[in-house]
Amino acid sequence: MTLEIAVKAAAGAPELLGDCPFCQRVLLTLEEKKVPYKSLLVNLSDKPQWFLDISPEGKVPVVKFDDKWVADSDVIVGMLEEKYPEPSLVTPPDFASVGSKIFISFINFLKSKDPSDETEKALVEQLKALDEHLKANGPFIAGEKITAADLSLAPKLYHLETALGHFKKWSVPEDLTHVHNYMKTLFSLQSFENTKPAAKEYVIAGWAPKVNA
């Protein structure tokens, strides 16, 4: 059975896949589990009525399970694991929170207008912790096998690399070689190729309002 999933369309190009990292996380999970799906692209700046009927808060992603629309990527990924247990993408509990503070640290640094507020330092600390974890446990967060933690982090690292490169001319420090290798591995996965935003310009356009706020 083909699952229906409503995801963000690209800003200014409603027929193309947009830049939502939470949508991509769910799409990556569907791809890795080989679950057939149909993407419904939603223009979030002009939400159609059919979408508001299934997602009253206007949030993506939403997936239809047994005639019921379910929101929230955490909930959706949990349900996919339950309904399609093979291959398992469960992250061992000890590793489930690895890298979980990188995204908020990235956003704080991206929005920062004050070079002395230590938001850059906080992000680098989080990336260093990931680097050390990968050095000891890699190539993926839980070892040889990709898990849900990697599929959650991959889109966020892609946004980090794209947005900070554009707005701050900043990149992940070169000495964090395990993080660089990890990103290279994740971004070259076929599932990532199939689900990434249509172009980096849409990622940049997605973050521009927050940077300029």
Burial of 155 (0-12, 13-18, 19+ CB in 10 A): buried
In the numeric block, which tokens belong to residue 181?
Answer: 């290798």
How far is C-alpha 137 from the geometric centre of its chain's CA atoms? 22
Q: Is 30 helix (H, G, I), strand (E, B) or coil?
A: helix
Let me know if 20 is a catalytic residue: yes
Do the beta carbons of residue 156 and residue 106 sit within 8 Å? yes
User: How much of the chain is in helix, strand and coil states, percent to nearest 5?
Assistant: 50, 15, 35
197 phi/psi in degrees, rounded to 5: -55, 150
Selected catalytic residue, list 9, 10, 20, 160:
20
> Among all residues, which ones are annotated catalytic?
20
